[in-house]
């Protein structure tokens, strides 16, 4: 029996996880525009946090801010902070049949080996993605104590369903290095698929309403396909679809991201910062004491991401985890990709973000009382109109999702509406943003999406 030919556009979390499930049943080709750093993974892709040479160079039209997106095998999970958070069960209810919390959990468990809580029924203990919690540094301990003093509860496992409070980040790291799709999944896939790095996709070739192949590298080659899976991410997947002339509904519409601001202070000692510069502590709490409306506080070393910052700079970042505002990915007049994140466009988001920042300012003051950090005299959150400052300062948590959402651009089995033989399997299909990071959730979508393909093809 002839094996189906499946071409996957993009080698990020969604694409690699789908390939992992499909490789033994089909002839799979992964087309990745970035490089494959190889196995073993070079040190910098495990430990560094600035990759200008491996970035798509997107910009938020609203603010002019750079939007980090990894142009490398593994996608965003090769360049991000390796957060291993899932979000709250209630946040997935709006995803609907087949995609709610209970539907996603088997994939979550299959993917992970949780080093501290693997024996719990909601965790896995034998998957390829290692989840751990790092030992706290001095600033993490001060952060915990300040959180406790303000009435927050201790939270040893931020992935326990329904929990909130302060505690260590769940992070996919091994020996301090990120352990995402590049380190954990690519080695399981390379010898079972045709992997083509540094290959730019021009368009999906559609004949008589059905995809028949993918054109690459300026039209030099058409790779035949029985199924095309688009896994180019929340910014790239809409671009691939419209560049292919596919007239699916609402391509690029409904984009969501967590609005995020940094409240920078100075640590007493740079060694306190660098003892645990990232993936240390996390606070999750309800806005205005509403547990169903969550914000996150995540402190980290500013210098890791901005080498012009002092090494003792400590960024206490705040994100609103259930925003209502939606932006879009669209084509500019020149045909290029344009992105509007529309952060805080809805008044309710602005109001709730102001509450979250005010509550975080109390936490920072509690830390400052111990002398471990100093709040600058010109701290922006203490100057003028807070909401106006938020409009000017809001940035991205680098969690873009929902630009090709289920029941909008794709159906519930991830088929692109209006064309045969094309699915989207990545963060863009999320109906709305979860109140955790999309890293693990996108891997789960890849796992489930690969299973859907196997069912659809009768494999």
- Annotated binding residues for substrate: 397
Measured CA to CA in angstroms, residue 404 lies from 110, 306, 371, 390, 415 at distances of: 26, 32, 48, 28, 11
Q: Which residues are annotated as a binding site for FAD?
A: 72, 201
CB 47 within 8 A of CB 173: no
The three-class DSSP label of residue 160 is: coil
Q: Measured at the alpha carbon of residue 130, what is the angle toward residues 115 and 444, in degrees to the nearest 5? A: 120
Calpha distance 428→233 (Å, rounded): 6
The three-class DSSP label of residue 380 is: helix
Calpha distance 358→137 (Å, rounded): 25
Q: Which residues are annotated as a binding site?
A: 72, 201, 397
CB 15 within 8 A of CB 21: no
The neighbour count for residue 409, using CB atoms within 10 Å, is: 28
Measured CA to CA in angstroms, residue 67 lies from 16, 162, 239 at distances of: 22, 31, 16
Calpha distance 31→197 (Å, rounded): 6
CB 376 within 8 A of CB 411: no
CB 323 within 8 A of CB 259: yes
């Amino acid at each position: 029996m002839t094996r189906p030919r499946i071409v996957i556009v993009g080698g990020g979390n969604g694409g690699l996880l789908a390939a992992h499930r499909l490789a033994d049943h089909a002839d799979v080709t992964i087309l990745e525009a970035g490089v494959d750093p190889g196995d073993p993974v070079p040190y910098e892709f495990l430990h560094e946090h600035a990759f200008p040479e491996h970035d798509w160079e997107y910009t938020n039209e609203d603010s002019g801010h750079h939007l980090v997106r990894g142009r490398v095998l593994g996608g965003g999970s090769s360049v991000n902070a390796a957060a291993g958070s899932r979000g709250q069960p209630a946040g997935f209810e709006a995803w609907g049949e087949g995609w709610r919390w209970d539907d996603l959990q088997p994939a979550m468990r299959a993917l992970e080996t949780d080093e501290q809580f693997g024996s719990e029924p909601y965790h896995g203990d034998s998957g390829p993605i290692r989840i751990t919690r790092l030992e706290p540094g001095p600033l993490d301990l001060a952060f915990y104590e300040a959180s406790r003093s303000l009435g927050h509860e201790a939270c040893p496992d931020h992935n326990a369903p329904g929990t909130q409070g302060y505690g260590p980040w769940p992070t996919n790291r091994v020996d301090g290095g990120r352990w995402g799709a590049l380190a954990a999944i690519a080695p399981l896939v390379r010898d079972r698929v045709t992997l083509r790095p540094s290959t730019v996709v021009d368009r999906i070739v559609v004949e008589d309403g059905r995809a028949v192949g993918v054109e690459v590298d300026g039209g030099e080659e058409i790779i035949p396909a029985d199924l095309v899976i688009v896994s180019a991410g929340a910014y790239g997947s809409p671009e691939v679809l419209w560049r292919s002339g596919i007239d699916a509904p609402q391509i690029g519409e409904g984009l969501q991201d967590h609005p995020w601001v940094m409240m920078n202070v100075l640590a007493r000692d740079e060694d306190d910062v660098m003892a645990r510069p990232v993936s240390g502590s996390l606070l999750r709490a309800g806005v205005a004491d509403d547990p169903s409306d969550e914000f996150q506080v995540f402190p980290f070393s500013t210098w890791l991401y901005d080498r012009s910052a002092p090494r003792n700079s400590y960024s206490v970042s705040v994100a609103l985890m259930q925003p209502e505002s939606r932006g879009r990915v669209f084509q500019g007049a020149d045909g290029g990709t344009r992105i509007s994140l529309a952060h805080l466009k809805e008044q309710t988001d602005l109001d709730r973000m102001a509450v979250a920042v005010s509550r975080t300012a109390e936490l920072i003051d509690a830390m400052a009382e111990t002398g471990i950090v100093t709040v600058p005299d010109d701290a922006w959150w203490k100057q003028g109109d807070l909401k106006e400052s938020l409009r000017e300062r809001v940035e991205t948590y680098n969690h873009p999702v929902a630009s090709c959402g289920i029941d909008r651009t794709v159906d519930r089995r991830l088929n692109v509406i209006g064309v045969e033989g094309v699915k989207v399997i990545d963060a863009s299909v999320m109906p709305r943003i979860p109140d955790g990071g999309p890293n693990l959730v996108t891997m789960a979508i890849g796992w489930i999406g690969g299973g859907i393909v196997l069912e659809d093809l009768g494999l």
